[in-house]
Amino acid sequence: MMNNEIRWIKTHCARMDHGGCALLVGVRDNRIVEIKGDPEGFLNFGYVCPKGLASADRLTHPSRLKHPVKRAGKRGDGKWEPISWEEAFQTICENLSRIKEQYGAKAVAFCQGMPKGLEHFMLIRLANLFGSPNVVAVQDVCHAPREISGMHTCGFYPVADFHHPSQLVILWGSNITGTNEEGEICSLLLNQVKQGTKLIVIDPKKTDLAEKAEFWLQLKPGTDNALALAFLNVIIEEKRYDSDFVETWTYGFDSLAAHIKNYTPEAMTEVTGVPASLIRESARYYAETKPAAIQWGNPIEHNIHTFDSVRAILCLMAISGNLDIPGGNIQANEPKILGLGKFVRADMIPSKPKEMIHAHHRTIPRLMTVPPSFFKKAVLEEIPYPVRGAYMQCTNPLMGYAESRKTFDALMKLDFFAISDIFMTPTAGLADIVLPAATHFEFNDIGHYGLGHGYILARPKIVDPPPDCLPDTAILNELGRRLTPPEYWHENYEDFLEDLLKPGGLTYQQFVQKGYLKGEEKFRKYTASGFGTPSGKVELLLTQAEKYKLPALPSFTGTPDLDDPEFPLILTCAKDRYYLHSSYRQLEKLRKHSPRPLTEIHPQTADTYGIRDGDYVEIATRYGCITQFARVTEKVRPDTVYAAYGWWFPEGKSELQYEWTKSNFNMLTSADILGRAFGTPNLKGLRCKIRRKDCP
Ligand SMILES: Nc1nc2c(c(=O)[nH]1)N[C@H]1C(S)=C(S)[C@@H](COP(=O)(O)OP(=O)(O)OC[C@H]3O[C@@H](n4cnc5c(=O)[nH]c(N)nc54)[C@H](O)[C@@H]3O)O[C@H]1N2
Ligand SMILES: Nc1nc2c(c(=O)[nH]1)N[C@H]1C(S)=C(S)[C@@H](COP(=O)(O)OP(=O)(O)OC[C@H]3O[C@@H](n4cnc5c(=O)[nH]c(N)nc54)[C@H](O)[C@@H]3O)O[C@H]1N2
Ligand code: SF4
Ligand SMILES: [Mo]
C-alpha cells in the first residue's frame, strides 16, 4: 500500500551555492514534493531563495545522468556507451595507474570546482594517498586570496560576524542578497539592517542593498586596491585609527603610514571613478563607527592585483580596531571535530609544498591547491612537468576557468580523464568516462566543514538516488580502496562522517538530531596568545615578504588590464541570482526567470553604440569575443559593461558541446596574465568593446 502522507524532514540546503539555509523537505513515496525554509534555521530564519526552492528538480530532471558511460568515438564526438560501475572503476584505475607508472603520480591531477560538501576533502585525501600533490581547484578566484592573505597578515581568515550586532557593515564587492556568500546567508544581515545597522556598498552596480546604503561607492571594476589605499590614507592621515590597538597589536604601522601618503582620495579619484569627497566621508564613517564589519566579496579576488586589494582591506580591519571583536571581522572558532589535516592525511605527502605545480611559479606559501591556469600550462606546455591524466568532480572547467579555448585544448590533450557530474556538461562531453553522481538530498553529508565560519551543518539523506547513481564520497572511497593502500579507506564510506564527528563524542545520527555544531564564542583571543604571525602582531608590514618575494605593503600599480583605445569600455560580471555558475540552466523553474544571457549597459552607452534593449550584441576583448543580449539599465556605470557569466545551452547539440563558445564569459579572459601570489587571472576589470549584431 502506498503511503500518501507527506513526511517533513529537516536538512540544510546545498549544492545550489555554498549552502546553509535550514530546510524543511516534504517527502512522499521517496520523492520530494515540497521545500520550505525552516524558521528555526540559525542562519536563515525560514528564508529560502529561488534556487533552493527549485533544488529538488535536479533529482528528477529527465536529462540527469543515470548510468556510467564511456566515450564511443573520438573525444568530443558526443557519442557514449553505457557501462557498468565495475568497468568504470577498472578503466579509471588502469588509466590513472598507467600514467603514474610512466610519468609519476604528479602527472595525475585531481580537479574540484566549488566545494560542495565532504567530497572535496575526500578528493584531497585520495590525491594525497595516491601520491599526487596536484589538487586543482578554483580557489585562485574564490577565497584563497582572502583566507591565505589573512593567515599571513593576522594568523587567521577574518570573516564578517553577522551573529552579533554591527553598527556598520561594508559590502565590499558582495551582492549578499543575490549570492548568500560562503557562510553568510543574507537573512542575518537583513535583520540587522532592520534594527538600524548602517551600510556602505562598494560596487559598480546599484545592488538591492546599494539602494539602502548610507554611502554607495560606484567604483570602476578592478580598482578595489586603489580605493582601499585611499581609505587607509584618510584614516591614517586624519589620525582616526584605533591608536591603542595599533600601538599594541600591529607591526609596521609607521612604514604603512609613510607608504600610503600619496594615495589620497584626490589622487585615487580618477583611477576609481569615485568622487574624493565620497571616499573621504565613507572612510571617516568606517573609522568612527564601531563595531564595523567588512563583508568582502568575490570580485576583489577576480583580478591580478588581488593580493594588494586583500592586504589593504586587512590593514583597514586592523587599524580600525575591528579584528576579532563581536560584530567585526572575526576568527571563527571551530567546533570539536576532526582537523582538516588529519582528515585529508596531509602527513602522507610531506613533499607536497615543493612538488605541486604552482611551487614552480612561486605562489604564496600555504596555497595548497593548483591554480587552474598553471594546471593548463602543465598539460599544454609540460611546465614544470607533464600532466597527463585527471579525475574531476563537481566542476565544469570549460565554463569556469579563464580562457576557455585553452581549457578546451588542455582537456583535448589529456591522455585520459574521468568526471562525475549529475548532468552532461561541455566539459563532461570531452571526458573518457562520465560518472553519474548522487547528489544533495540523496546521501548523508556534512556541510561547511573547512570553510572557516566556525560551524558544520547536517545534511541527512532524504530520498534514495536513482539505482545507478553513487555519491561522490562513495565513488572516492572505492577509488581509494583500489588505487591506494585500502587500509586508509572504509568498508562503508559513511564511516568518514563518524570519523569527523568523533572528537566531539557524537555519532552522525546524534549530529542530525542537533542539526548543526558551532564553535565556542570567544573574541579578542589575541590578548591571551598574540596573533598567529611570526611577529605575534597583525603584520601591516609583512615580516616574511622578502623571503617569499611578495610586496611587504599593499600598492596600486595600475589597472588590471591595459588601457587601449580599441577597447574603450570596462568589462565585469556578477553571479546570476537564479543559477550557480554554469549549473542548472536545465531547470525550467530557474530558466524562466533568466532565459538567456544578458549584457547590461547604461542607456548613455547604448545610445553611443546604437544598441536597444533586447538587441543581439557582440562583446569583444583582446582575447576573444562572444554574443549575448543587451539589457539597458541605469544600474551600471556608463563606462562599464556587465556580461553574463556561466552560459552554455543544455538544449544545444551535444556534439558541439552545447555551444560552449557562443556566450561563455571566459572566452573573453586570458590565462596568461596572472597575479603572482595566487595565479589569479583577470575576470573583472578587462577592457572591452561592444557592438550591435544581427540576430542569426
Ligand atoms: N546565485 C548565485 N549565488 C552564488 C553563486 C552563483 O554562481 N550564483 N556562487 C557562489 C560562489 S562560488 C561565490 S564565490 C559567491 C560570490 O558571491 P559574491 O561575492 O557576492 O560575488 P559576485 O556576484 O561575483 O559579485 C558581487 C558584487 O560585486 C560587484 N562587482 C563586479 N565587479 C566588481 C569590482 O571590480 N569591484 C567591486 N568592488 N565589486 C564588483 C557585482 O556588481 C556584484 O554585485 O557566491 C556564491 N553564491
Ligand atoms: N568569468 C568568471 N569565471 C569564474 C567566476 C566568475 O565570477 N566569473 N567565478 C569563479 C568562482 S567564484 C568559482 S567557485 C568557480 C566555479 O566553478 P565550478 O564549481 O566548476 O562551477 P559550475 O559551473 O557550477 O560547475 C559545477 C558542476 O558540478 C555539477 N554538480 C552539482 N552537484 C554535483 C554533485 O553532487 N556531484 C557532482 N559530481 N557534480 C555535481 C554541476 O552539474 C556542474 O556541472 O568559477 C570561477 N570562474
Ligand atoms: S540561499 Fe543558498 S543555501 Fe539558501 S536556499 Fe538559496 S541556494 Fe540554498
Ligand atoms: Mo566561488
Specify the pLDDT at position 232. 98
Residues 385, 378: Cα–Cα separation, whole Å: 6
Sorted by where each begins, the domain ranges of the chain are 7-58, 69-140+340-440+464-499, 158-330+524-548, 569-692
Residue 2 CB: number of other CB atoms within 10 A? 6
- Determine contact, residues 426/75, Cβ cutoff 8 Å: no
Residues 455, 670: Cα–Cα separation, whole Å: 37
Specify the pLDDT at position 687. 98
Pairing of strands 329-330, 159-160: antiparallel
Split at pLDDT 50, 70, 90, the class of 2 is low
User: CA angle 234-209-645, nearest 5°?
Assistant: 100
Res 220 pLDDT > 90: yes
Q: What is the DSSP letter of 243?
A: H
Select the CATH number that applies to the domain covering 69-140+340-440+464-499 from these four: 3.40.50.11540, 3.60.110.10, 3.30.70.1520, 3.40.50.740: 3.40.50.740
Q: Which helix (H) or strand (E) holds 621?
A: strand 616-621
Residues 485, 128: Cα–Cα separation, whole Å: 11
Res 144 pLDDT > 90: yes
Distant-in-sequence contacts of 544-552, Cβ < 8 A, 24+ apart: 544/152, 548/364, 548/365, 549/362, 549/676, 550/307, 550/364, 550/676, 550/677, 551/307, 551/308, 551/311, 552/252, 552/255
Average confidence (pLDDT) over 660-683: 98
Residues 619, 628: Cα–Cα separation, whole Å: 8
Average confidence (pLDDT) over 39-62: 97
- Determine contact, residues 584/526, Cβ cutoff 8 Å: no
Tell the residue nearest (CA) to atom 2 of ligand 1. Answer: 179
Atom from ligand 3 closest to the CA of residue 37 = 5
Tell if the pTM clears 0.95, that is, is over it.
Answer: yes
Average confidence (pLDDT) over 439-450: 97
Average confidence (pLDDT) over 49-54: 97
Res 393 pLDDT > 80: yes
Specify the pLDDT at position 466. 98
Atom from ligand 1 closest to the CA of residue 575 = 23
Res 41 pLDDT > 90: yes
Res 655 pLDDT > 90: no
- Determine contact, residues 180/17, Cβ cutoff 8 Å: yes
- Determine contact, residues 232/312, Cβ cutoff 8 Å: yes
Specify the pLDDT at position 653. 85
CATH number for the domain running over 7-58: 3.30.200.210
Q: What is the pLDDT of residues 601-631, one digit of tens each?
A: 999 999 999 999 999 999 999 999 999 999 9
Q: What is the pLDDT of residues 13-22, one digit of tens each?
A: 999 999 999 9
Q: Annotate 455-517 with DSSP letters as a single string.
A: EEEEE---SPPPTT-EEHHHHHHHHHHHHS-GGGS-SSTTHHHHHHHGGGT--HHHHHHH-EE
Q: What is the pLDDT of residues 349-373, one digit of tens each?
A: 999 999 999 999 999 999 999 999 9
Specify the pLDDT at position 695. 78
Mean of per-residue pLDDT scores for the chain: 97
List the one residue out of 101, 97, 119, 129 whose CA is nearest residue 419.
119
Select the CATH number that applies to the domain covering 569-692 from these four: 3.40.50.720, 2.40.40.20, 3.40.250.10, 2.30.290.10: 2.40.40.20
Specify the pLDDT at position 1. 47
Average confidence (pLDDT) over 128-150: 98
* Residue 181 CA, ligand 4 centroid: distance in Å: 8
Res 433 pLDDT > 60: yes
Q: What is the pLDDT of residues 258-273, one digit of tens each?
A: 999 999 999 999 999 9
Decide: 64 in ligand 2 pocket, CB within 6 A.
no
Nearest ligand atom owner, CA of 645: 2
Pull the grid cell for residue 279: 571616499
State the first-to-last Cα distance of the chain, in angstroms, to the nearest integer.
55
- Determine contact, residues 134/108, Cβ cutoff 8 Å: yes
| CB-based contacts of 398, cutoff 8 Å, min separation 6 | 404, 407, 408, 411, 425, 426, 427, 430, 648, 657, 660, 664
Specify the pLDDT at position 37. 98
Split at pLDDT 50, 70, 90, the class of 685 is very high
Residues 571, 445: Cα–Cα separation, whole Å: 38
Pocket of ligand 3 (CB under 6 A): 13, 16-17, 19-21, 48-49, 51-52, 180, 185
Residues 49, 57: Cα–Cα separation, whole Å: 14
Tell the residue nearest (CA) to atom 37 of ligand 1. Answer: 173
Residues 638, 648: Cα–Cα separation, whole Å: 27
Specify the pLDDT at position 183. 87
Query: Which of 142, 174, 421, 642 is the best mutation target for the ligand 2 pocket, counting ligand atoms within 8 Å of the beta carbon and taking the most?
Result: 421
Q: Helix or strand or coil: residue 309?
A: helix
Judge if the upstream peptide bond of residue 384 is cis by omega within 30 degrees of 0: yes
Q: Does the structural domain 158-330+524-548 have CATH classification 3.40.228.10?
A: yes
Judge if the upstream peptide bond of residue 291 is cis by omega within 30 degrees of 0: yes
Split at pLDDT 50, 70, 90, the class of 76 is confident
